[in-house]
Amino acid sequence: MVEDRTFSGRLFSAVNFILLALIALVTVLPFIHVVAGSFTTSAELAANKFVLIPKVWSLEAYKFIFSTNTIFRALGVSIGVTLVGTLFSMFITALMAYGLSRKDLDGRRVFNFLVVFTMLFHGGMIPTFLVVKELGLIDSYAALILPSAISAFNMIILKNFFQNIPEGLEESAKIDGCNDFGILFKIVLPLSLPAIATISLFYAVTYWNTYMSAILYLDNSAKWPIQVLLRQIVVLASGMDHSATLDGTVPPPDQTIKMAVIVVATLPILMVYPFLQKHFAKGAMLGSMKG
Amino acid sequence: MQEVTAPPRVVPEPMPKKYKSSSELKKRLWRNKLLYVMLIPGVLYFIIFKYLPMYGLIISFQDYKPYQGITGSEWVGMKHFSRLFTEPDFLNILANTLILFGMNILIYFPIPIILALMLNELRGTFFKRFFQTLVYLPHFMSWVIVVSISFVMVTMDGGIINELLAYFGFAKINFLLSPGWFRPMYILQVIWREAGWGTIIYLASIAAIDPGLYEASRMDGAGRLRQVWHITLPAIRGVIITLFILKIGSVLDLGFEHVYLLLNSMNREVAEIIDTYVYTAGLRQGQFSYSTAIGFFKSIVGLIMVMTVNKVSKKIGEEGVY
């Protein structure tokens, strides 16, 4: 667009810029406060209130939270579930998306409808819980993965992406003696790397953030992922319901410790974010196309 | 090589119109057999974890006993549904749910649109990218993280907000336990986490607008605000309506996690919504059938809302969602 050099145009730009800068600040300040707070001592945090760059650096809080096994175990569960879950979800999502992307597949309209229908209507929490229980998945890590293994939304994004790959490529591969699995793995998937990356990251973020399945399906606290531990340490301890914290006798953890746990639970997302960022806008736009 | 053998047994069946013979259909099915194999895991997933629970909804017409299962439990007709509308508890949670939904529509919904318009008016790609990166970020944090961050900021013992209030001579506020602060906290967290992300789809449709329109309007002497009002906004009208439909469809579906995390014994009166109630009444108190009936009610209302609003949007000449 051509630059608007009138006074009112410049004023408009300036006001707009300032407002946006404020919005961006409000978005990141809480997080910077938490990160900075986690790297200082409780005394320093209490004295300085709002810390953006700690005057006194300290790893006190991190030493404390890593002095027990609890957080290692929770991190291990989250990392494991994220890795296994993402691979598994991606694999079966890609298979299904490819099958449904092929226009010569009879019955694809029916399958498509059945998938879309699950986005409009669902059985709800209790019937799903009963199915998971009947399958004997309670207290298993599989309960964190299987019940949400495919996101209908992600599947449709991927299917749309596959549909845009020229059919000629597939046909020539077929003439060269490639079967459908070969076409998918040797031709379609390599051509779809941006879509695969986007959706893998969507899945990974979802698995890393797993919380609801854990509180629904895991009774054994030794199997808690990091998000449930985070809630235990921060959310429950911040309310007045101290009886609800670990055993009621322990005083609520220091602010710095809570902040350190928040950072640990967020870190992996912050690390993938730069990679994510490149792709997700495109991915989200693909998703807005019709199935 | 591609196998072209016909299936072993030929059973006569009604012919679909587009095929000349049933054997032609068979041939097609057989030729695509590997594609059907690929669909198996996905189809199994949808059957087991999506359609079996729908079948499980029938326990809302029973007095479900876990040990007797669906086949052995006693049928009680509409008992649980009629309880819904007489139970003061339920009417209260329905009201709470509708209020939060109303806040989502009235307060949250316009924000991503405004934010997208503002981002679009930004000159210079660097800052545009930069601000976008920052405002998208919270979307990737779980509700636990979002709620945790806000809790360490508002807590009574050393939270920055209360420290600031005290510094300026105001009384500290117990945000977490006072029922009056639940709704503002809820909607602020929704805005903080989702507003930036919500701009993506609007920005994408703004990018598709023909720049010539802006040129022309400038010739006619339109200022920046006028251009937003007469060109940008009308151009994204369809997207706004589509997203509005989706939002309306999720009327009773505010998401369990977020509210569950904010809920405590002090704010239950205003904070309990359908989803959290289903969890408490169903899984905590073992009233499986009653809470399934509540969930069923919720799903049906959602479905009816989506279908209705979709129809209305098609009537007024917009595209609709499906």
Residue range B269-310, pLDDT digits in tens:
999 999 999 999 999 899 999 999 999 999 999 889 888 888
Share of chain B above pLDDT 90, in %: 55
The nearest CA of chain A is from the CA of B129 a distance in Å of: 10
Find residue B74's DSSP bridge partners.
B63
pLDDT above 80: residue A114: yes
Question: What pLDDT is recorded for position B3?
Answer: 38
B316 touches chain A (CB under 8 A): no
Closest CA to B80 of B96, B101, B63: B63
Q: Which residues in chain B are contacts of A31 at CB distance < 8 A?
A: 137-138, 149
pLDDT above 80: residue B110: yes
Cβ pair B38:A17 closer than 8 A: no
Q: How far is CA A35 from the centre of its chain?
A: 20
B residues 43-102 lying closer than 8 A (beta carbon) to A? 43, 45-46, 48-57, 59, 66
Cβ pair B141:A174 closer than 8 A: no
In sequence order, what DSSP letters do the residues of chain A get, joined into one string?
-----SHHHHHHHHHHHHHHHHHHHHHHHHHHHHHHHHTS-HHHHHHHSS-SS-SS---HHHHHHTTSHHHHHHHHHHHHHHHHHHHHHHHHHHHHHHHHH-TT-TTHHHHHHHHHHHHH----HHHHHHHHHHTT-TTSTHHHHGGGS--HHHHHHHHHHHHTS-HHHHHHHHHTT--HHHIIIIIIHHHTHHHHHHHHHHHHHHHHT--HHHHHH---GGG--HHHHHIIIIIHHHSS-GGGSSSSSSPPPPHHHHHHHHHHHHHHHHHHHHHHHHHHHHHHHHHHS--
Cβ pair A100:B176 closer than 8 A: no
pLDDT above 70: residue A32: yes
A212 touches chain B (CB under 8 A): yes
Q: Which residues in chain A are contacts of B239 at CB distance < 8 A?
A: 288
- B257 pLDDT band (50/70/90 cuts)? very high
C-alpha torsion angle, residues B138, B139, B142, B143 (rounded to 10) = 80
Cβ pair A235:B306 closer than 8 A: no
Print burial letters for A28-48: b (CB count within 10 Å at least 16), e (below 16).
eebbebbbbbbbbbbebbeeb
Question: What pLDDT is recorded for position B152?
Answer: 92
Cβ pair B46:A3 closer than 8 A: no
Q: Which residues in chain B are contacts of A116 at CB distance < 8 A?
A: 322
Cβ pair B56:A21 closer than 8 A: no
pLDDT above 50: residue B94: yes
B residues 207-266 lying closer than 8 A (beta carbon) to A? 211, 214-215, 218, 223-225, 239, 249, 256-257, 261, 264-266
The nearest CA of chain B is from the CA of A146 a distance in Å of: 8
Share of chain B above pLDDT 70, in %: 92
Average of pLDDT values for B16-43? 83
Q: Which residues in chain A are contacts of B57 at CB distance < 8 A?
A: 123-124, 127
Residue of A28, A121, A290 lying closest to B134 (CB–CB): A28
Question: What pLDDT is recorded for position B17?
Answer: 54
Spell out the residues 6+ positions from residue B272 whose beta carbon is closer than 8 angstroms to its own.
B92, B93, B96, B263, B280
Average of pLDDT values for A187-208? 91
Question: What pLDDT is recorded for position B88?
Answer: 87
A125 touches chain B (CB under 8 A): yes
Question: What pLDDT is recorded for position B10?
Answer: 45
pLDDT above 70: residue B201: yes
Report the C-alpha gap between B18 and A145 in whole angstroms. 41
Nearest CA in chain B to A26: B192
Nearest CA in chain A to B228: A12
Question: What pLDDT is recorded for position A9?
Answer: 83
pLDDT above 90: residue A94: yes
Nearest CA in chain A to B59: A127
Residue B299, amino acid: S
Average of pLDDT values for B253-260? 88
The nearest CA of chain A is from the CA of B220 a distance in Å of: 14
Cβ pair B225:A12 closer than 8 A: yes
Residue of A118, A124, A240 lying closest to B292 (CB–CB): A124
Average of pLDDT values for B156-176? 88
Question: What pLDDT is recorded for position B5?
Answer: 40
- Mean pLDDT, chain B, whole residue set: 87
pLDDT above 50: residue B2: no
Interface A:B, Cβ pairs < 8 A = 294
- Mean pLDDT, chain A, whole residue set: 87
A121 touches chain B (CB under 8 A): yes
Closest CA to B275 of B64, B131, B96: B96
A8 touches chain B (CB under 8 A): yes
What's the ipTM?
Answer: 0.89
Cβ pair A33:B118 closer than 8 A: no
B107 touches chain A (CB under 8 A): no
What's the distance, Cα to Cα, between the start and end of chain B in Å? 40
Q: How far is CA B287 from the centre of its chain?
A: 26
A151 touches chain B (CB under 8 A): no
Question: What pLDDT is recorded for position B1?
Answer: 37
Question: What pLDDT is recorded for position A141?
Answer: 96
Question: What pLDDT is recorded for position A170?
Answer: 83
Residue of A26, A234, A240 lying closest to B151 (CB–CB): A234
Least confident of A146-150, A249-253, B36-40, B119-123: A249-253
The nearest CA of chain A is from the CA of B152 a distance in Å of: 7
Least confident of A107-116, A164-173, B195-204, B209-218: A164-173
Spell out the residues 6+ positions from residue B253 whose beta carbon is closer than 8 angstroms to its own.
B275, B298, B302
Question: What pLDDT is recorded for position A6?
Answer: 80
Average of pLDDT values for B172-182? 92
Query: Which of A53-62, B169-178, B179-188 reaches the highest mean pLDDT?
Result: B179-188
Best of A104, A235, A240 to disrupt the B interface (most B CBs within 10 Å) is A235
Per-residue pLDDT tens digits for A62-85: 999 999 889 999 999 999 999 999
Average of pLDDT values for B187-211? 92
Q: Which residues in chain B are contacts of A209 at CB distance < 8 A?
A: 141-145
- A136 pLDDT band (50/70/90 cuts)? very high
Q: Which residues in chain A are contacts of B129 at CB distance < 8 A?
A: none
